[in-house]
Amino acid sequence: MSFSPNRGPYPNSRPRRLRASEFSRRLVRENRLTSDDLILPLFVIEGRGETQQVASMPGVERMTVDLLTAKARELVKLGIPAVALFPVVDAAHKSDDARAAYAVDGLAQRAVRALKDAAPELGVITDVALDPFTSHGQDGLMNEQGYIVNDDTVEVLVQQALSHAQAGADVVAPSDMMDGRIGAIRTALEREGHVNTQIMSYAAKYASSYYGPFRDAVGSAGNLKGANKFSYQMDPANSDEALHECALDLAEGADMIMVKPGMPYLDVVRRVKDELKVPTFAYQVSGEYAMHCAAFANGWLNREAVILESLLAFKRAGADGVLTYFAEEAAKLLQD
């Protein structure tokens, strides 16, 4: 059948005109995803030459420090600016006071040193929170009533952040949601001379059910025993509160803001960027990764196209970058 491209007096405005050719689609494209936007989370384990698969996160593997350093050099070649480090410690290093969190020779601290040694140009972001180190899997210290106490936890977080900075971390990223920890950490870093150690604050971190696979990956799911984190992570129903949290952390000295989870919270990313105008990042969390992978494995979604579309959506929402388990794959896709 042949149709006339132009049948009548309508319409004068044809938005499709600019979409008709690749040259003009490129000219009017508003947002771009590049490898500069990507941060890769890495799970580190004790030992040598060993990797472990994470069952609920197909394609993600935990690895020993020696393998981490080889990976770091590949990531630099791919143009990925930074990694976020998550230690997976065994039960022997978990305690009620989480003292392993700030051990000078702890797993995270050793991994930071090795990474900065192997690939100094790769930014290293460390997670400041106690959940890998507490016997109960909560992000802070627990009192007799089962409540996660704020101020005593902050004192431990300060020790943890300092130990990361001393190991050479470029960015410390408190993900615990205690009140006042950014100010306390900033003061301690300044006092100890770490004036250029950056703070990326998980200021808008929600009590989300999308974190399940991560808790498997770091082995905090089993001991959390169905308990929730509602007394410190934010209610998914709220967004004004996210702005309040972000404003407080910025006033206390945060350099960058993280919104977490990602895709279900893009409205929060947009509001933070519009109203606070600071470097804003989002975390495409483990549950988002897992559900994408499940659909890919079933042939329900096109893997490469959906990975890139899901990440571009963060840019469109105003994010300056995305912490994503797809970072390495996306950087490779963007290369060709």
Query: Which residues are catalytically annotated?
Result: 205, 260
| Nearer Cβ to ligand PBG (59/120) | 59
Find the binder of ligand PBG among 100, 129, 234, 327 (CB under 6 A).
129
Least separation in angstroms between CB 141 and ligand PBG: 14
Distance CA 244, CA 263 (A): 21
Backbone angles phi, psi at 103, to 5 degrees: -65, 130
Residue 158: count of CB within 10 angstroms of its CB? 20
CB of 66 to ligand PBG, least distance (A): 24
Contacting residue, 43, 214, 265, 281, with ligand PBG by CB under 6 A: 214
Helix, strand or coil for residue 89?
Answer: coil
CB 64, min distance to ligand PBG, A: 20
Q: Which member of 102, 133, 206, 211 binds ligand PBG (CB under 6 A)?
A: 211
Which stretches of 6-106 are DSSP H helices? 22-28, 65-77
CA-nearest of 31, 34, 39 to 283 is 39
DSSP one-letter string for 233-283: SBPTT-SHHHHHHHHHHHHHT-SEEEEES-GGGHHHHHHHHHHH-S-EEEE
Given 127, 170, 249, 252, the residue binding ligand PBG (CB under 6 A): 127
Rounded-to-integer distance, Cα 327 and Cα 197, Å = 23
Partner interacting with residue 286 (select from ligand PBG, Mg ion, none; CB below 5-8 Å by kind):
ligand PBG
Binding range to ligand PBG, per CB under 6 A, among 156-164, 185-193, 209-217, 310-318:
209-217
In the complex, the smallest distance separating the C-beta of residue 21 from ligand PBG, rounded to whole angstroms, is 40
Of all helices (H) and strands (E), which one includes residue 40?
Answer: strand 38-45
Angle at 130 between CA 56 and CA 42, to 5 degrees: 45
Nearest to 319 by CA among 265, 260, 270, 249: 270
| Binding residues for Mg ion (CB under 5 A) | 245
Tell me the window of 12-20, 126-134, 151-159, 291-299 that interacts with ligand PBG (CB under 6 A): 126-134
> Which one of Mg ion, ligand PBG, none interacts with residue 139, CB within 5 to 8 A by kind?
ligand PBG
For residue 227, the minimal CB distance to ligand PBG (Å) is 11
252 scored as a contact of ligand PBG (CB under 6 A): no
Among 87, 110, 131, 322, binds ligand PBG (CB under 6 A): 131
Q: Which does 129 bind (CB under 5 to 8 A by kind): ligand PBG, Mg ion, none?
A: ligand PBG
Residue 74: HSE in the Cβ half-sphere, 13 Å Cα cutoff: 11
Residue 216 φ/ψ, nearest 5 degrees: -65, -45
Q: Are 73 and 119 in contact (CB under 8 A)?
A: yes
155 in a labelled binding site: no
Segment near ligand PBG (CB under 6 A); pick from 100-108, 187-195, 210-218, 239-247: 210-218
Q: How long, in residues, is the chain?
A: 336
List the one residue from 116, 181, 229, 292 that touches ligand PBG (CB under 6 A): 229
State the residues that interact with ligand PBG by CB under 6 A: 127, 129, 131, 139, 175-176, 211, 214-215, 229, 285-286
- What are the binding residues for Mg(2+)? 245
